[in-house]
Amino acid sequence: MRKILLTLCLIAVAILAKAAKANPRPFVVTQPDGTQVTLIMRGDEHFSWISTLDGTIVTQVNKGYYVAKIDENGNIIASEILAHDVEKRSVAEQKLAKAQAKDLFFGVAESRLHKARRTPPIGKATPPYFPHLNSPKVLVILVDFDDVPFKLDNVRKSYDQYLNKEGTMEDFGNSDKKNYGSVRNYFKFVSGGKFTPEFKLYGPVRMPKDQSYYGADENGRTDVHYREMVKDAVNLVAAEVNPKEFDSNSDGKIDLVYIIYSGYAQSWGGNDSKTLWPKSFYMTSSDNLKIGDYLVGRLGISNELGGTPAKMGANGKPKINGIGLFCHEFSHTMGLPDIYPTRPVDNPDDQGMECWDIMDGGEYTANGYCPTPYTPWEREAMGWTRMEPLEDIPQKVTLKADEFRKITTPMGEKEYVVVHNIQNVDWYAGVVKYFGHGMLVYRINYNYNFINMYDPVNNTSGRPGVTIIPADGKLLSQSSVDGKKVKFKDWLESHRNDVYPGPLKVTEITTMKLNLQTITDKPIYNIKEDVTAKTIMFDFIEKQNADSISAITNLQTPTDDKIFTIDGRFVGIDKTMLPKGVYIQGGKKFVK
């Protein structure tokens, strides 16, 4: 099998960033007039917007959310009308909402994204992806600001545990134990022990400018000064750092600098627009950011606190951030792309992985405190495992917890199916609690010889590159939630009905409709789940009858030449005349 590799896709100029998807959960805000409105954030750091559940675009001004006007350039500006839920709108608000030129808004955004997300050309020297084997070191800088100081009781102690702890997490006063484990522990699990990164902390240091400066948004762009923040942070700790220990391949470049900034994330609906959006990116040699003689290239940033200021811990103190956002951005620095549709035009098209993948919405599983583990496809891409194919013969298959197998197709590596047993073991605790357990079926149609962080995996409408074959036949995305036809509880229920046999007790898959073909000759029958043993069992290609095999085995002597099918039908004595299949002869099974 051709092994999927990670490659460098390079760009000569400009920083390109990959960011976290907006939190898919709707949020309720109290407006300055005392009314409450339910909103939802959509998109990511490159292009995001906030809307009411019926899709009316709003914009934040101080503590209020106002119905947006869309000008002739596709920019949004605040009106003087506060946003309300549909049933509470005045006639003036209804007219303004109806008049929004959304096609223009999304069209301009598409043009901007085309420029910002172009596939980088190959062949220019830029930083390599962070290594994903053994125990490479990451330089981590803790930074805060005059207007947003750190809130954790002991930020250095909390974040050393957050990143490096082996074993059970301790509580240092800020809901630290809500995290199922550390970042290092997460990657140790998903890699089968092949990748155990080490994080060395510096700081905390106070930045020379306010967060409201570094995190300011202008003309549809978020965090217009985040590069300046990175440079300031690196320069503040440079004298303390031995850069050589962060250069694992001796290329004269620091493998990765990661900044944890004080406060909340802009990607979480309800937070101030002047907060920063978590992201990963790199600087070019022309930026000439150095520690000693070593260039700083690949970088990432994420936030201190989880949720919003309205959601405090049980002790009334702010909660530390879940590791999900960090793991998502860190995965970008190793080359993995976003799995969710990154173009706003494709966002509503119900394609992607949603919370079944940390590179989609799975970074927010259990509010980010127990993110969804890597999919089998991602683990193989990293070189941590191999998806063993099922042999194309009728057989009974048993999958242990977190075991997966590939179902091949005539398209080979261009398109195939993966079956995966998801159970409540280790880091699957979060996804099982919120979305259920059973067999998840993925379909892969990846049109690149290599994987890189800028690949537009699910940006072709109706032709997703990585998605699932759900048991209920529904692929509801975050974008489908409108509060009427699709409520948030419907979105959750759809997730829970994705697995087999699952709540709907779906026990067979006879047809697999993929992008390039429809598979009808490799059906799956009799899907069963043993909840005690945490196993999945199914019949592949043909329904199996264990009793008939046992009866044939008992009736035939070793010298008997008669040949039977596995369901007990006599088919002759000459093997050469048989079609391909599984048979019994002389009390023994054989495959032709």
Sign, CA dihedral 323-326-329-335, equals negative
Residue with the larger pLDDT of the pair 104 and 373: 373
**Can you say whether residue 227 is alpha, beta or left, with left for phi > 0 and alpha for psi between -120 and 50 degrees?**
alpha
Q: What is the pLDDT of residue 70?
A: 76
173: left (phi over 0), alpha (psi -120 to 50) or beta: left
Q: Give 280-307 pLDDT, tens digit per residue.
A: 888 877 788 999 999 998 999 999 999 8
pLDDT at 108 over 50: yes
Lowest mean pLDDT of 24-38, 253-267, 321-335, 419-433, name the range.
24-38
Average pLDDT over residues 335-339: 90
- In 3D, which of 178, 117, 85, 120 has the Cα closest to residue 482? 85
Around Cβ 138, how many Cβ atoms within 10 Å?
Answer: 22
What pLDDT does residue 550 have?
35
Of residues 128 and 376, the one with the higher pLDDT is 376
Calculate what percentage of the chain has a pLDDT beyond 70: 80
Q: Categorize the per-residue pLDDT at 424 as very low, low, confident or very high, splitting at 50, 70 and 90.
A: very high
pLDDT in tens, 544-575: 875 433 333 333 333 356 666 655 555 556 67
Average pLDDT, the chain: 82
Measured distance CA(141)–CA(203) in Å, rounded? 6
pLDDT at 359 over 60: yes
Determine contact, residues 19/43, Cβ cutoff 8 Å. Answer: no
- The DSSP bridge pattern shows strands 404-407 and 416-422 to be antiparallel
pLDDT tens-digit profile of 433-447? 999 999 999 999 987
Residues 191 and 450: their CA atoms lie apart, in Å, by 20
Does position 319 have pLDDT exceeding 60, yes or no? yes
pLDDT of 120 > 50? The answer is: no
pLDDT score, position 1: 31
Helix H or strand E segment including 332: helix 323-333
Confidence of residue 453 (pLDDT cuts 50, 70, 90): confident
Q: What share of the chain is helix, strand, coil (3-state, %, to 5)?
A: 25, 25, 50
478: Cβ–Cβ under 8 A, 6 or more apart, which residues? Answer: 21, 22, 24, 40, 42, 354, 361, 491
Q: Does residue 102 surpass a pLDDT of 80?
A: no
Spacing of C-alpha 385 from chain mean position: 19
Band of residue 585 on the pLDDT scale cut at 50, 70, 90? confident
pTM of the model: 0.76
Is 261:143 a contact under the CB 8 Å cutoff? yes
Task: Give the tokens for residue 124.
Answer: 């220019």
Residues near 387 by beta carbon (within 8 Å), at least 6 away in sequence: 376, 377, 380, 404, 405, 406, 418
Neighbours of 246 (CB within 10 A): 20
Q: Return the minimum-mean-pLDDT range out of 10-19, 49-58, 188-197, 549-558.
A: 549-558
Rounded to whole angstroms, the Cα distance separating 457 from 448 reads 10
Distance, CA of 256 to CA of 6 (rounded, Å) = 17
**pLDDT at 88 exceeding the cut of 80:** yes
User: Whole-angstrom Cα distance, residue 71 to residue 81?
Assistant: 16
Q: Which helix (H) or strand (E) holds 572?
A: strand 570-572
CA angle at 107 for the pair 102 and 108, rounded to the nearest 5°: 105
Encode pLDDT of 154-197 as tens digits: 999 999 999 999 999 999 999 999 999 999 999 999 999 999 99
pLDDT digits (tens, 9 = 90+) for 510-549: 999 998 889 889 999 999 999 999 999 999 999 987 543 3
Higher pLDDT, 11 or 521: 521
pLDDT at position 14 is 33
The predicted-structure confidence for 473-484, as pLDDT tens digits, reads as follows 888 776 666 666
Q: What is the pLDDT, as a whole number, of residue 115? A: 44
**Interval 458-478 mean pLDDT:** 86
Look up residue 347 and give its two tokens: 């966002």
Nearest to 405 by CA among 394, 391, 421, 418: 418
